[in-house]
């Protein structure tokens, strides 16, 4: 079972390498995706579950992330998707400051400015290129996960950071602003 690496792990603070054609052919990509899914499925801290994970979060500095919503009570379920060598090719002018947390920084939450809508270009697990537009939470996830691939954690971008205990004591309006 793959485990999440600690916040100070080098893979979380360096620019990840692109996945090569050879890594698709030799099964490396499929093995990496399985390890990432295992780590995401195993995450459950105080009832919180993950919705996405990037390869650096399991110590692998490769440009791969996946979205797989583990929440059982979300009204608008997120799609399952794999993004290999992703690039955000379009950003909306409109931004919002949103509440954000991270599997790799489990004891802190923050207020991060993100674009409201983005368009992602990436490859799927078979090496097929696709583009996907996203708004709201999915746009936020795309930006958060691409930051991981560039060695940036949400706490590096946050306008304000709270400990989990402090965030639990904030009025909901402030925690999500």
C-alpha separations of 156 from 56, 98, 141, 148, 160 in Å: 16, 14, 16, 11, 10
Distances (CA, A) of 108 to 19, 156, 160, 162, 166: 31, 12, 10, 6, 9
Q: Residue written as tokens 């996907």?
A: 132
Decide if 145 is catalytic. Answer: yes
Question: Residues 17, 22, 107, 145: which is the catalytic one?
Answer: 145
The 3-state DSSP composition of the chain as helix, strand, coil percent (nearest 5) reads: 30, 30, 40
Helix extents (H) in 4-105: 21-25, 28-42
The catalytic residues are 145
């Amino acid at each position: 079972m793959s485990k999440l690496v600690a916040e100070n792990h080098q893979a979380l603070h360096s620019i990840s390498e692109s996945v090569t054609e050879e890594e698709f052919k030799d099964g490396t990509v499929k093995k990496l995706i399985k390890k990432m899914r295992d780590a995401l499925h195993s995450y459950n801290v105080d009832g919180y579950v993950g919705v996405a994970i990037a390869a650096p979060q399991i110590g692998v500095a490769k440009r791969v992330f996946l979205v797989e919503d583990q929440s059982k009570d979300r009204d608008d379920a997120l799609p399952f998707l794999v993004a290999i060598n992703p690039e955000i090719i379009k950003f909306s002018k409109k931004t919002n400051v949103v509440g954000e947390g991270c599997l790799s920084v489990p004891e802190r939450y923050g207020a991060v400015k993100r674009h409201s809508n983005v368009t992602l270009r990436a490859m799927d697990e078979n090496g097929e290129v696709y583009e996907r537009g996203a708004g709201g939470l999915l746009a936020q996830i795309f930006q958060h996960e691409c930051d991981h691939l560039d060695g940036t954690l949400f706490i590096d971008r946050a306008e304000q950071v709270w400990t989990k205990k402090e965030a639990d004591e904030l009025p909901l309006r402030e925690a999500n602003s």
